[in-house]
């Protein structure tokens, strides 16, 4: 099982790179020895998941088969897509769905506008949970003990001048999200980017994901987001939750 875990770690590192990675780079990013990385890559090549190119290693399309069932007709991303499209249609802004994975959020569905931000997001993209509205909307539904355990595991660095980085301030901000029922994050991840998120609660009352809209701060104020976008987002999140029993 250790070998499996190491192989998945190598695949995960390759999946987060926009270009080929050489063995020393993979070793450094995974904290695995070059010998271990070499064995993992050899096995993954033999299985058809990885190929070696002149500039390094990259994943092959076969890796898509590993996530195929997750994106099936009855899977959350497929169920959510029409709701994301509706939010996009009503607001003209990009709408996304994400889940919490450790200290990060993973995007599992998207409906995008043509407006371009510096942050390039696709299905499978990961962002830090602590400074994103999606992350805070999900963290807000942890128990106090779970939240403190979660926050205490990380050292937070500011990504912009607005980024909250102390555990006490983060706890206060996340507790406020729990009271409000939404998370509004203003230029903490990237200068010029505002994001608004709501939790998606299934039929059993469990938070299974978060839905968000991201906008350019130069175009839309916080007040306008709460007035015009929050009702649309809340309605879509509520309807999606009613459709799921995951």
Per residue in 170-190, pLDDT (tens digit) is 999 999 999 999 999 999 999
Q: Looking at the structure, do residues 165 and 51 belong to the same domain, yes or no? A: no
Q: Looking at the structure, do residues 52 and 73 belong to the same domain, yes or no? A: no
Q: Looking at the structure, do residues 149 and 118 belong to the same domain, yes or no? A: yes
Mean pLDDT (the chain, rounded): 89
**Which pairing describes strands 104-111 and 126-128: parallel, antiparallel, or unpaired?**
antiparallel
Q: Looking at the structure, do residues 161 and 126 belong to the same domain, yes or no? A: yes
Give residue 118's pLDDT. 47
- Of 10, 31, 66, the residue at which a domain comes to its end is 66
**Which pairing describes strands 183-186 and 193-201: parallel, antiparallel, or unpaired?**
antiparallel
- Burial call 62-92: b when 16+ CB within 10 Å, e when fewer: eeeeeeeeeeeeebbbebbbebbebbbebbe
pLDDT in tens, 124-149: 888 999 999 999 999 999 999 999 99
| All residues at 6 or more sequence positions from 6 whose CB lies less than 8 Å from its CB, including other chains | 30, 32, 36, 40
Q: What's the CATH number where 6 sits? A: 1.10.10.10
Q: Looking at the structure, do residues 131 and 23 belong to the same domain, yes or no? A: no
Q: Looking at the structure, do residues 51 and 104 belong to the same domain, yes or no? A: no
Give residue 115's pLDDT. 54
- Of 50, 66, 82, the residue at which a domain comes to its end is 66
Give residue 67's pLDDT. 66
For the question of whether the overall pTM of this predicted structure is more than 0.85, the answer is no
Q: Looking at the structure, do residues 61 and 95 belong to the same domain, yes or no? A: no
Q: Looking at the structure, do residues 61 and 181 belong to the same domain, yes or no? A: no
Q: How far is CA 79 from CA 142, 202, 243, in A?
A: 24, 12, 8
Q: Looking at the structure, do residues 22 and 62 belong to the same domain, yes or no? A: yes
- Of 66, 86, 115, the residue at which a domain comes to its end is 66
Domain hosting 136: range is 69-243
Average pLDDT of the residues in 200-214:
93
Q: What's the CATH number where 108 sits? A: 3.30.450.40
Q: What angle do CA 132, 231, 146 make, to 5 degrees?
A: 40
Q: Looking at the structure, do residues 169 and 207 belong to the same domain, yes or no? A: yes
- Domain tally, the chain: 2
Q: Looking at the structure, do residues 41 and 14 belong to the same domain, yes or no? A: yes
Q: Looking at the structure, do residues 19 and 98 belong to the same domain, yes or no? A: no
Among the listed ranges 15-29, 104-118, 120-134, which one has the minimum average pLDDT value? 104-118
Share of the chain above pLDDT 90, in %: 61
| All residues at 6 or more sequence positions from 109 whose CB lies less than 8 Å from its CB, including other chains | 76, 77, 80, 81, 84, 96, 97, 123
pLDDT in tens, 35-71: 998 999 989 988 888 988 888 898 887 887 776 555 5
Q: Is the pLDDT of residue 120 over 70?
A: no
Q: How far is CA 111 from CA 20, 34, 127, 214, in A?
A: 28, 40, 17, 11
Q: Is the pLDDT of residue 91 over 70?
A: yes
């Amino acid at each position: 099982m250790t070998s499996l875990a190491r192989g998945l770690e190598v695949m995960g590192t390759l999946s987060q790179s926009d270009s080929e990675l050489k063995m020393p780079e993979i070793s450094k990013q995974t904290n695995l020895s070059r010998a271990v990385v070499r064995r993992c890559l050899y096995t993954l090549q033999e299985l058809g998941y990885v190929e070696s190119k002149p500039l390094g290693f990259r994943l092959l399309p076969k890796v898509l088969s590993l996530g195929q069932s997750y994106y099936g007709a009855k899977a959350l991303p497929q169920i959510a897509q029409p709701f994301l499209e509706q939010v996009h249609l009503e607001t003209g802004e990009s709408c996304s769905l994400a889940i919490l994975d450790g200290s990060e959020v993973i995007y599992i569905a998207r409906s995008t506008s043509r407006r371009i931000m510096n942050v390039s997001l696709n299905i499978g993209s990961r962002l830090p949970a602590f400074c994103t509205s999606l992350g805070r909307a999900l963290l807000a539904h942890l128990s106090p003990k779970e939240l403190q355990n979660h926050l205490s595991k990380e050292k937070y660095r500011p990504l912009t001048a607005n980024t909250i980085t102390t555990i006490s301030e983060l706890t206060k901000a996340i507790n406020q999200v729990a009271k409000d029922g939404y998370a509004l994050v203003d230029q903490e991840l990237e200068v010029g980017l505002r994001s608004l998120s709501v939790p998606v609660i299934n039929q059993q009352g469990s938070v299974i994901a978060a839905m968000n809209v991201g906008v350019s701060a130069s175009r839309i104020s916080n007040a306008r987001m709460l007035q015009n976008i929050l009702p649309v987002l809340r309605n879509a999140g509520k309807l999606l939750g009613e459709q799921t029993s995951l």
